Amino acid sequence: DDVTKKQQRSMARTKTLIQLATAHGKATAMQDWRRDRDRINHRAALTSTLCAVFGLTGTMCAVVQHELILRGVDPLAFSVNVLKGCNSLFTLLCIGMLVRYYWLMT
């Protein structure tokens, strides 16, 4: 009778440990997006879209800056400097997205 109670307690603990391990495995699998190809492809598509948006926006800033200078605006004017800063910012963001895309695909 005493052995049976010990066995039952031992089996209950084992069952609890198995449930915890299974729950932990499921939680880890759900959180680990790096093993889910669909989620990786979704993030890669979003990253490439952001890269294109940042690149085009930076290019448009450069075009507007160039047009302002051609129209006779002083190259050291505040508006031209703001466009230069925006161009630099969008270039850095684009490079960051390219690096992120590289790491997603490797």
Q: What is the DSSP letter of 104?
A: H
User: Which pair of structure tokens corresponds to residue 74?
Assistant: 């002083």
User: Which pair of structure tokens corresponds to residue 23?
Assistant: 């729950």
pLDDT on residue 21? 67
Q: Whole-angstrom distance between the N-terminal and C-terminal Cα of the chain? A: 60
Condensed to tens digits (0 to 9), the pLDDT of residues 54-82 reads 999 999 999 999 999 999 999 999 999 99
Which pTM value belongs to this model?
0.67
Please name the amino acid found at residue 25: G
Give the C-alpha separation, 103 to 40, whole Å.
10
Q: Are 43 and 104 in contact (CB under 8 A)?
A: yes
CA nearest to 87, candidates 71, 103, 64, 69:
64
SS3 at position 87 = helix
pLDDT on residue 2? 60
